Structure 1
């Protein structure tokens, strides 16, 4: 089969289109998926630059997100049959015979969900990682509730644009930071109540005005760095802040967070995969099953900004690393 291999850690030139053996079922509960599309995520570019999570294995296939058609099932598979259209977040971290920048992949059935009928394969392939990340951050970490006010950073980004929609489905009021008027229009369309053009307006002052000096009930940081520490000033006393980046506590202080008695949560949706936590992986699949219902009911949408053919994976990586993308990018296979 054709696949994009990461021949070594480095720049985009290490992504090479090669012929490799088609993966085979080794467990009775595995399915083989003929991939029609793969999502491209920032984690893919980070692995490419620094090396995979499993350096003992060489030339991995990247890509955590995939969508395609089940073409073979193990003897113990009960949830799928040949011909089923599926989507999932599995593999792509460096283990052999995993990854979705390829024509085929093998996945445990417990990690796979039926593809939303209303989405194309490319749209579906873009969705799993960001859906799981946003869900775990806002529903599992901070238990966002009806009438809560939340600040979501980077609302036009991959995680941010689905986070807005999930927050609205929970009945919350949403403020979000964006960089330009085009992104402002997008987040308003997705349901954001208060877009903040952060290049024109200090988001802390904007939030304090919006909340009459109280601060938001919760904040979801998808940007990291100084933004995380500044956001602590915009969260109410005894409020919540969750981030998908590791705070650099050597460069900034958590004094504001401590004084305001904030509850800080860290979100890494890859933890179940990296630690082989079966219940965590099943929980993530259930998230995708519920979101599939909402997609088909018109309550969720995925903003697919660009698609590239498989052989142009390096171009997709360059676009993500530019830091200016809106929504999601997919490779079509």
Structure 2
């Protein structure tokens, strides 16, 4: 089969289109999926730059998101059949092979069912960002109707889903963007207050929107200095959820003074630590989100697609920050 091999850290050009043997089922609860599309995420570019979590297992196949058709099932798999169309988030971290390939072996409990009208490209773009946004806003922050939430980078993969999930919970949403085009995009998703972080004074505009109190929930999808900035914009007894490790400049005294609840969201933990029950939970919430997509309550924006062999171009496009929503590979 064709696959993109990653042999050593470096620029996008290190990703090689190669011919390798088709993977085989190794456990009775696995299925073989013929992939039709794969999502491209920031975690992929970070692993490409610095190396995978398992450098001793190189070369690796990157890609956490996938969608395709089941072509083989293990002896203990009862809920899935050959021909079923599925999507999933599994692999791509250096231990299990990822989705930058024509086939992938997937544990059956990680699968969600793809509705027929949903394209494979949309399906492959959905899992990682949707699970991440869901866990951050619903599981960690437990966002409530009427609360005000600040979502950073609202036009990005996680951000554009987070805006919609927040609106579905009847919260009021402020979000940061970096351009006029991105501002117009997030407005179509329901954002109540759009803040261009390249313009001075946006923090004051946010505080004015909350009557000087600050938001109930701050969702940091950027990390570094943005985390400290978010702490300053959340009201006392509020919540901050972050996807990344706070930087050394973090004002923890202010967070403590305001009695903030700080939460972390890393949706890859179940994959890294082999937590089957957590993987089952993620597949279930993904299935619920798919129902919302099918009912037009939730929209997955695919900014651009690339063929498998042009994965280096896909990485460069993602790193440029130009796109709205997600990027996908068509296999």
| TM-score in terms of structure 2 length | 0.98
Q: CA deviation at 1:327?
A: 0.9
Q: Is the 8 A contact 1:118 1:295 kept in 2?
A: no
Q: Distance in 1 between matches of 2:213 and 2:33?
A: 50
1:260-299 correspondence runs (5 A): 260-299=258-297
Can you list the C-alpha shifts for 1:278-308, whole angstroms capped at 9, x where unaligned? 1111111011110011011110111100100
Q: Distance in 1 between matches of 2:94 and 2:250?
A: 33
Q: Distance in 2 between matches of 1:47 and 1:303?
A: 24
Q: Distance in 2 between matches of 1:293 and 1:93?
A: 28
Q: Distance in 2 between matches of 1:46 and 1:182?
A: 26
Q: CA deviation at 1:51?
A: 1.1
Unmatched segments (≥5 aa) in structure 2? none
Q: Distance in 1 between matches of 2:115 and 2:211?
A: 41
Q: Is the 8 A contact 1:204 1:233 kept in 2?
A: no
Q: Is the 8 A contact 1:117 1:296 kept in 2?
A: no
- Alignment partner, residue 181 of structure 2: 182
Aligned residue for 2:56, secondary structure, equals coil
Q: Distance in 2 between matches of 1:208 and 1:106?
A: 49
Q: Distance in 2 between matches of 1:66 and 1:199?
A: 34
Q: Distance in 2 between matches of 1:243 and 1:203?
A: 20
What is the number of residues matched between the two proteins?
331
- Alignment partner, residue 303 of structure 2: 305
Q: Is the 8 A contact 2:25 2:105 kept in 1?
A: yes
Q: CA deviation at 1:22?
A: 0.4
Matched, 1:41 2:76: no
Q: Distance in 2 between matches of 1:62 and 1:275?
A: 18
- Alignment partner, residue 86 of structure 2: 86
Q: CA deviation at 1:201?
A: 4.5
- Alignment partner, residue 329 of structure 2: 331
Spell out structure 1 runs of 4+ moving beyond 3 A.
Answer: none
Q: Is the 8 A contact 2:228 2:249 kept in 1?
A: no
- Alignment partner, residue 26 of structure 1: 26
- Alignment partner, residue 141 of structure 1: 140
Q: CA deviation at 1:119?
A: 2.2
Q: Distance in 1 between matches of 2:116 and 2:175?
A: 29
Q: Distance in 1 between matches of 2:177 and 2:117?
A: 28
Q: CA deviation at 1:116?
A: 3.6
Aligned residue for 1:315, secondary structure, equals helix
Q: CA deviation at 1:81?
A: 0.6
Q: Is the 8 A contact 2:227 2:250 kept in 1?
A: no
Q: Is the 8 A contact 2:304 2:323 kept in 1?
A: no
Q: Distance in 2 between matches of 1:148 and 1:141?
A: 15
Q: Distance in 2 between matches of 1:79 and 1:50?
A: 38
Q: Distance in 1 between matches of 2:226 and 2:270?
A: 27
Q: Distance in 2 between matches of 1:92 and 1:161?
A: 23
Q: Distance in 2 between matches of 1:287 and 1:300?
A: 13
- Alignment partner, residue 71 of structure 1: 71
Can you list the C-alpha shifts for 1:21-52, whole angstroms capped at 9, x where unaligned? 10111111111000000000010111111111
Can you list the C-alpha shifts for 1:299-320, whole angstroms capped at 9, x where unaligned? 0111100100000011111112
Q: Distance in 1 between matches of 2:220 and 2:22?
A: 39
Aligned residue for 1:138, secondary structure, equals helix
Q: Distance in 2 between matches of 1:254 and 1:76?
A: 49
Unmatched segments (≥5 aa) in structure 1? none
Q: Is the 8 A contact 1:308 1:316 kept in 2?
A: yes
Q: CA deviation at 1:325?
A: 2.7
